Structure 1
Amino acid sequence: MSALALRRATEADIPFIMATERKPGYRKTVGQFEDAEHRAHLGNPDWLYLLHEGMGLALLCGLGNRDGNLCLRRFMVTEPSIGHGSALLPQVLDHVFVQTSTHRLWLHHVEGNEAAARLYAKFGFQHEGVDRQAGVRADGTRFNLINLSILRPEWAARRA
C-alpha cells in the first residue's frame, strides 16, 4: 500500500466511514457515530480522520491537547483478518508522529478483543492499565477498556 493512499477524510467520505463502522462485530468493539456526529468531527480542528478507501480508517481526537496526547478513538478495517490492519496502522503512526506534534498516542480497546490487542502490541503500543466497567453498551451491559499507548521516542526507535 502506498503512503499516498492514506489521506484526510472529507464529508464526502461519510458514507464509507459509516458503512465501515457498521461492519459485523464493530458495534460491540469499536462503536459508531451518526452522520451528524461525523460532520461535526470533520469540522472540528481537534479531530483528524485518516482513511484508505480500500482498507479502512482511523479517527483521532485531541490534536489541540497541550501535553501532546492524541487519542486513536477508532481504528477500523474494511475486511478484518486479511492484513489490512497491519498495513494501515504503521501509516497512521507515521502520519501522527511526522505530521503532528503528538508525543503520546493512546487508545482504549474493549477487553477480550484479542485481535486488536495483538495488532497494537505488534506495532509497539504498551499496556497501561484497565478502566474497569468504563464502557456501556446500548443494552446497558458494562465492559472494561484496556489502555494502551505509544510514545514518540518508541515509534522513532522502531522506525529506525
Structure 2
Amino acid sequence: MAPGIGLRRATAADLPYVMAVEATPGHDAFINHQSREEHEAQLASPAFAYFVAEAGGAQVGFAILSEMTEARGNRCLKRLALARPGGGLGRPLFRVITDWAFANTPAHRFWLHALHTNARAIHLYASEGFTEEGRLREARPREDGTRADLVVMSMLRPEWQARRTGPG
C-alpha cells in the first residue's frame, strides 16, 4: 500500500460521506452523482465494492469498483474521488486501489474510463502504467445537453506484477 493511505470497506453508514464527496464543488465536471437509492443498491450488490480512503485517521475520499462478479477477469474502477482534490493524495489512493484490485480479486484486467477533458486524471493513470485502449465517442451526456467522450484505459495483471517487482 502507498504510505499514508488506508482503505476500508464502506458500509451504509458511509453513504452520506460518499455523497458529500460526490457533491464537492468541481467534481460535477467529472463525476456522475448518484441517488442514495442507487448507492444502497450497489453497496448491497456483490458486483460492486465500496471503499472509504483514510489518511491520518480521517476520511479523505472513496473508491467504487464494479464488475466484481464478472467471470472473464475484468474489474472496473467505477469511481475514485477525494474530498480535497489537489492535496497530493490522488496518486497514492490510485495505487492503493489498483493494488487492492489485483491482490484481492482474480482480475486479469483492471480498467476505467475518464472524461476526455480530465487531462489531470488521464495523465495520472498513464503515469501509473495504464494504457489507453480507446475512446467512447460522446458516451456521456452532460447537464447542459452536450455530450463528452470517455477515454478507456486499463492495466493487465502482468503489467501490474512487473511494476511491483521492477525497479522504482
Q: What amino acid is aligned across from residue 68 of structure 1 in structure 2? A: G
The runs of 5 or more residues in structure 1 that have no matched partner are none
Q: CA deviation at 1:138?
A: 2.5
- 1:132/1:145 contact within 8 Å kept: yes
Q: 1:7-26 to 2 correspondence within 5 Å?
A: 7-26=8-27
Q: What amino acid is aligned across from residue 153 of structure 1 in structure 2? A: P
The runs of 5 or more residues in structure 2 that have no matched partner are none
Q: What amino acid is aligned across from residue 11 of structure 1 in structure 2? A: A
Q: 1:1-160 to 2 correspondence within 5 Å?
A: 1-2=3-4, 5-53=6-54, 54-160=59-165
Equivalent-residue separation in structure 1 for 2:88 and 2:14 (angstroms): 22
TM-score normalised to structure 2 length: 0.90
Equivalent-residue separation in structure 2 for 1:36 and 1:123 (angstroms): 33
How many residue pairs get aligned? The number is 159
Q: What amino acid is aligned across from residue 69 of structure 1 in structure 2? A: N
Secondary structure of the residue aligned to 1:87 is helix
**What RMSD, in angstroms, separates the aligned Cα atoms of the two structures?**
1.2
Equivalent-residue separation in structure 1 for 2:144 and 2:98 (angstroms): 34
- 2:53/2:63 contact within 8 Å kept: no
Equivalent-residue separation in structure 2 for 1:77 and 1:61 (angstroms): 18
Range with bigger deviation, 145-154 or 49-58: 49-58
Q: CA deviation at 1:2?
A: 4.6
Runs of 4+ in 1 over 6 A off after TM superposition: none
Deviations 1:56-107 (A, max 9, x none): 1111110111111111111111111121111111110111111111111111
- 2:74/2:107 contact within 8 Å kept: yes
TM-score normalised to structure 1 length: 0.94
